[in-house]
Chain A
């Protein structure tokens, strides 16, 4: 096997990681916001349902959730999931939405009530208060915890291999079976570079938001 074809095969694998990463982020962030509203709902049943759901998702391993999403529909309802990638995305989106929702909830609840009251006496509607005043302050407060989760997500994408989705580590293991160990070790470089870029990006965003205190 020549070097170039190994590297390009690893790149193909890493493309899968990137795909899972991007799709998860794209769907889990808005879903997380919706879940966070659920966990702050005044209507108790919705609140407790949401909280239980979040507790289950955060309390069990993502690896187990991948297996459940992959096999449970087929076993329980006889509707097997036909695409492994779909199963991966469902499990990842739900898992990360649960984590994001807790970060959003913490951020939203940390905004002092006075901000809402100031909006109200200035004649703003509730949605104006949220979108024009509160949301930005929430974003500033959650950038750091979100960036932690996002970096964890990059590494978690390799879990897709447990249901045989050919992400980078799975691709590299094929070479291990042929007696080549360096491709497996080299996968770390891909993750490091990717997370390095993300770290710089989040650092930039944090700095941009740092124009005011409070």
Chain B
């Protein structure tokens, strides 16, 4: 059964129809990359999936269960949305780290706040907090930042910041981790370290959806590629299908343009 299925998602801003019925599905442990030209609605799709925007219509299914229905969007309470949100993590293009907290606190903040809602928090405060710290340290080790635990975001390079933000999202153990152009805000020489981290996560079978302009990277890391244009999915399939042998004229045109760059 698909871990995630998105059906006919639509979203308009005023009169601009940005998503015109986007559908796709993915399996647990898969990596899906979304490519497409600027303005095609990739960011909007991720924002809808993470409830930063509410899709106007269409459904999102998690493990085959109806998870979000555009028709009922007014009925969902903020608390309910929050609970659902925790199944997903989102890594932003420009990090959005919390500048006043050091690296480890950036990673620990959300899990700590969440732990306070547990019934046994008061009795087991010490152990729970130790567990959260241990978990955060492990994750930061995974992204190669063990030596930066006590640094502040302003003391880090762009690539390091992005790795902190990946760690911050992982700390909540999301079922699916979404990335919105994780390397676009970085100097070219820093993109490699992020791509390496994502490749490593892929080898650990973290379920990921990645919006990216790095076609070669997407080809290497993805189980599935989705090409979007004008708010719809134009073509989807394995990297061999979509990137080596695109069927659609628009896909070919887009890949050709990307190659020239």
Contacts and interface: CB of A to CB of B under 8 A. Distances in A.
Nearest to B91: A121
Nearest to A128: B113
Interface string B78-116: 110010011011101010111110000000011001100
A140 interface: yes
Contacts of A119: 110
A212 B100 CA distance: 6
A114 B96 contact: yes
Interface size of B as a range: 20 to 34
A132 interface: yes
A177 to B, nearest CB: 55
A115 B98 contact: yes
A46 interface: no
Interface in A91-125: 112, 114-115, 117-125
Interface string B50-76: 111000000000000000000000000
Contacts of B97: 118
Contacts of B152: 211-212
A137 interface: yes
A133 B86 contact: no
Contacts of B168: 122
Contact of A121 (B50, B79, B100, B109): B50
B154 A214 contact: yes
Given A122-B110, A126-B78, A117 B85 contact: no
Contacts, number: 65
B239 interface: no
B198 interface: no
A122 B110 CA distance: 6
B52 A132 contact: no
A185 interface: no
Contacts of B153: 212, 214
Given A126-B78, A214-B99, A132 B88 contact: no
A125 B82 contact: yes
Given A123-B82, A123-B86, A212 B154 contact: yes
A19 interface: no
Nearest to A121: B90
B78 A132 contact: no
A142 to B, nearest CB: 14
A114 to B, nearest CB: 4
A213 interface: yes
A136 interface: yes
B96 A117 contact: yes
B172 interface: yes
In this complex, the member of B51, B109, B165, B168 whose beta carbon has the largest number of chain A beta carbons within 10 angstroms is B109
Given A121-B50, A124-B82, 14 more contacts: A117-B92, A118-B98, A118-B165, A120-B51, A123-B85, A123-B172, A124-B110, A125-B79, A125-B82, A126-B78, A212-B99, A212-B152, A213-B154, A214-B154
16 contacts: A112-B96, A114-B92, A118-B96, A118-B97, A120-B51, A120-B82, A120-B85, A121-B89, A122-B169, A132-B109, A136-B100, A137-B100, A212-B99, A212-B100, A213-B99, A213-B154
